[in-house]
């Protein structure tokens, strides 16, 4: 069994911008920042999947992506999950109707735990300064998404290691 999710790995140039955003919030809370190499937009968490089914999941993802055009995605403001009162994750909102439609097609065709698309910055243990955290803004960066990835997540004591096992191109 392998732990899998579907998402969009960020381009290197955008990762550098997200690290700058993480640097703005890291003194306002206690928690675990997502490592630069692991920054991604989450679409669906599949959980434990039989190794023999990876190819068929990849084929289903290819089929879904073949119906969708490449798209511009815009990063919005900070998102507090599940809520600001019970904060466990700080993420960046991902704006784009076309990406939401792809996410819905993944839910309907492949399944998994599908949440609205978001980019996790940090898993939170304790908020130090809620008011300053709320005031942090993101710059609304846009970027082109041309593929959706099937990603393996291997957990370890030093944090997760993500490996792209399949890329599905958008047309």
Strand, coil or helix: 58: helix
Q: pLDDT tens digits for 36-95? A: 999 999 999 999 999 999 999 999 999 999 999 999 999 999 999 999 899 999 999 998
For the domain that residue 34 is a member of, what is the CATH number? 3.90.1140.10
Please tell me the pTM assigned to this model. 0.89
Strand intervals (E) in the chain: 2-9, 29-33, 40-49, 71-81, 89-95, 113-127, 142-145, 147-154, 161-169
Question: For 109-151, what is each residue's pLDDT tens digit?
Answer: 999 998 888 999 999 999 999 999 999 987 778 999 999 999 9
Which residue range is the domain that position 68 belongs to?
2-169
Number of domains present in the structure of the chain? 1
């Amino acid at each position: 069994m392998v732990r899998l999710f579907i998402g969009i790995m960020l381009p290197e140039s955008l990762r550098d911008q997200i690290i700058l955003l993480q640097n703005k919030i890291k003194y306002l809370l206690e928690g675990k920042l997502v490592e630069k190499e692991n920054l991604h937009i989450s679409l669906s968490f599949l959980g434990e999947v039989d190794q023999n089914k990876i190819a068929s999941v990849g084929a289903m993802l290819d089929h879904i992506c073949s119906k969708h055009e490449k798209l511009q995605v815009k990063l919005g403001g900070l998102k507090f999950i599940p809520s600001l009162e019970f904060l466990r994750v700080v993420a960046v909102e991902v704006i784009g109707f076309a990406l939401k439609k792809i996410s819905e097609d993944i839910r309907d065709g492949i399944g998994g735990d599908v949440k609205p698309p978001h980019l996790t910055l940090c898993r939170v243990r304790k908020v130090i300064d809620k008011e300053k955290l709320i005031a942090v803004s993101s710059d609304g960066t846009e970027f082109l998404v041309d593929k959706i990835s099937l990603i393996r997540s291997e957990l370890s004591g030093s944090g997760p290691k993500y490996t792209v096992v399949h890329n599905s191109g958008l047309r």
